[in-house]
């Protein structure tokens, strides 16, 4: 009888979340038996050292379980929030699309969509709890996921609250407003936890306000420091790159995605969004720092250590918020601490992550036509002839970019950086000829699509080593690489696909109910490796069955 009781208790452990605690040391190591932060670890590489699933047995990969979302104020939901209780189900598709990468800690997956958060058993897909936030509004375009500190979870809401939950029960600990909804901020990033700091940012469609990064205390939610993405007054560093204080204070530069972190340098790396007005720059002459930039912030003070601006004086909505991937590699035969980014503007950049010095700048897509060359700092030189005009001008890439938010991957075994790209043209029409245009200031119309590509880039040179072309779709899709000599991503035909990362050969694929909508992840649990991915409103988990 005692043996039976012990056996039954073991089966129930995942359901009661016993012993739940995130060891912060896991955040600095490649993910194996956990996936404790948005990119798996602080580096942003999305590379796993696991190899139980490998190129030899991937053809035997089988579905382990499926979980489909139940969103809103369901009978079992734990309800919080500042807004009214909604009448009927939400009609915004962003609410029911999994763009977050679930955290996996101690056998439990934690993930979120706008206004919702869940814990599910990573072994079976069984729901453990569901939290629902009553929103006051905001744009519900997507939510990138959660952060974790010990037993506490953190996620952002579209109406700009940072919410902390108890990981064991899903009950709310506190919530703090991080931005004013009336100013048209809305919040999408996954918080990143570094030590006792919870790092958050926002998005915003009007972009008529300045962006920022904040560090919060995980216990109380109190603000520890705040860094604005542009200067706020004359005399501030960077103010010389704006014409006046009005342009700065309405300058945009949102921080849509989580960043990466170097524990040795104690620097947090993150990209910033485009300036405002979006598609015309006549009222904001200058480079408009620190919009469309990769920045390094001191984790203790929030002060700027260095910056690199891939798109000075951007007029095409080319946010630089794509994941800044940290690589310990070589340039010219010398070991370097590097940062690589596949940028929305169509270029691939490699920087020294201690100093911000540019080392590599190379084009990613063949259709790109907006730059005249590269300057001495490694920045593209914009062609004034590609600014929006009243008759219209043909530009590639369009505002959606050569790539976008879905995470890339770096495989240290192949030395290749992998990213999903899109080759497309748009016509840009100037619609607001006022000296101080508002909002976008121009209109964009699609003018031709040449398909998407999965690209493997040599980080030392920026050259594309191989690419897989999707003639009828594709483009930016989240990527995972593993020591099993595998690359997992999605195509445009609702498949999860395994490629050989060395040469791009297709090794396996599985049909899903929707396109892959997040970054795939993998982890070891009870001696078995799982591969988990989101597609629309459903999580799928695969394993090689004995």
Q: Would you please indicate which residues are annotated as catalytic (active-site) residues? A: 317
Do residues 152 and 143 make contact, with C-beta atoms less than 8 angstroms apart? no
Q: How many CB atoms lie within 10 A of CB 84?
A: 9
The first and second tokens of residue 367, run together, are: 């259709």
| Residue 472 per-residue DSSP state | T
Question: Residue 413 is inside which H or E element, if any?
Answer: none
Q: How many CB atoms lie within 10 A of CB 503?
A: 11
End-to-end CA distance of the chain: 30
HEC assignment per residue over 31-75: CCCCECCCCCCCCCCCEECCCCCCCCCHHHEEEEEEEECCCCCCC
Q: Minimal CA–CA distance to 475: which of 378, 369, 390, 364?
A: 364
The first and second tokens of residue 321, run together, are: 């918020």
Q: Minimal CA–CA distance to 26: which of 39, 41, 38?
A: 41
* Cα–Cα distance list, 442 to 197, 269, 382, 511 (Å): 39, 31, 18, 40
HEC assignment per residue over 336-374: EEEEEEECCCCEEEEEECCCCCEEEEEECCCCCCCEEEE
The first and second tokens of residue 152, run together, are: 């506490």
Tokens 């734990």: give the residue.
78
| Dihedral-angle region of residue 55 (phi above 0 means left; psi in -120 to 50 means alpha; beta otherwise) | alpha
| Dihedral-angle region of residue 40 (phi above 0 means left; psi in -120 to 50 means alpha; beta otherwise) | left
Burial of 512 (0-12, 13-18, 19+ CB in 10 A): buried
Do residues 200 and 187 make contact, with C-beta atoms less than 8 angstroms apart? yes
């Amino acid at each position: 009888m005692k043996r039976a009781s012990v056996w039954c208790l073991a089966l129930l452990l995942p359901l009661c979340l016993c012993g739940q605690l995130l060891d912060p040391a896991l955040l600095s190591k490649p993910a194996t038996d956990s996936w404790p932060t948005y990119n798996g670890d602080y580096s942003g590489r999305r590379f796993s050292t696991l190899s139980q699933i490998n190129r030899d047995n991937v053809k035997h990969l089988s579905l382990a379980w499926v979980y489909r979302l139940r969103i809103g104020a369901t009978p079992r939901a734990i309800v919080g929030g500042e807004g009214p209780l909604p009448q009927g189900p939400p009609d915004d598709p962003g609410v029911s699309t999994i763009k977050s990468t679930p955290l996996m800690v101690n056998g439990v997956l934690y993930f979120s969509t706008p206004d919702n958060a869940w814990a599910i058993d990573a072994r079976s897909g069984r729901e453990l709890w569901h939290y629902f936030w009553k929103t006051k509004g905001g744009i519900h375009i997507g939510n990138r996921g959660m952060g974790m500190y010990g037993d506490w979870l953190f996620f952002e809401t579209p109406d700009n609250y940072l919410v902390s939950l108890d990981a064991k029960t899903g009950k709310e600990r506190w919530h703090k407003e991080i931005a004013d909804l009336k100013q048209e901020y809305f919040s999408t990033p996954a918080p990143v936890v570094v030590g006792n700091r919870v790092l958050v940012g926002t998005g915003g469609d009007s972009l008529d306000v300045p962006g920022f990064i904040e560090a919060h205390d995980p216990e109380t939610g109190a603000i520890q420091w705040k860094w604005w993405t542009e200067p706020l007054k004359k005399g501030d560093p960077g103010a010389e790159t704006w014409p006046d204080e009005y342009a700065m204070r309405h300058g945009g530069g949102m921080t849509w995605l989580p960043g990466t972190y170097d524990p040795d340098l104690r620097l947090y790396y993150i990209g910033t969004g485009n300036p405002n007005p979006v598609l015309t720059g006549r009222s904001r002459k200058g480079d408009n720092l620190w919009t469309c930039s990769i920045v390094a912030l001191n984790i203790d003070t929030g002060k700027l250590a260095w910056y690199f601006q891939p798109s000075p004086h951007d007029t095409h909505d080319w946010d630089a918020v794509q994941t800044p991937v940290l690589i310990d590699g070589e340039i010219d035969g010398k070991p370097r601490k590097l940062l690589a980014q596949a940028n929305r503007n169509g270029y691939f950049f490699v920087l020294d992550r201690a100093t911000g010095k540019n080392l590599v700048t190379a084009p990613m897509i063949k259709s790109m036509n907006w730059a005249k060359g590269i300057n001495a700092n490694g920045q593209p030189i914009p062609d004034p002839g590609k600014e929006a005009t009243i008759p219209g001008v043909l530009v590639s890439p369009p505002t959606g970019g050569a790539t976008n938010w879905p995470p890339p991957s770096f495989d240290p075994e192949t030395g290749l950086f992998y990213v999903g790209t899109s080759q497309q043209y748009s016509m840009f029409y100037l619609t607001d000829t006022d000296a101080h245009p508002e909002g976008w200031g121009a209109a964009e119309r699609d003018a031709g699509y040449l398909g998407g590509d999965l690209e493997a880039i040599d980080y030392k040179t920026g050259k594309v080593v191989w690419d897989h072309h999707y003639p009828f779709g594709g483009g930016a899709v989240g990527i995972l690489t593993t020591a099993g000599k595998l690359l997992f991503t999605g195509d445009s035909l609702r498949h999860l696909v395994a490629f050989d990362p060395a040469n791009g050969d297709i090794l396996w694929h599985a049909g899903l109910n929707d396109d892959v909508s997040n970054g795939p992840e993998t982890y070891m649990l009870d001696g078995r490796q799982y591969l988990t991915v989101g597609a629309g409103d459903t999580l799928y988990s695969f394993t090689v069955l004995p």
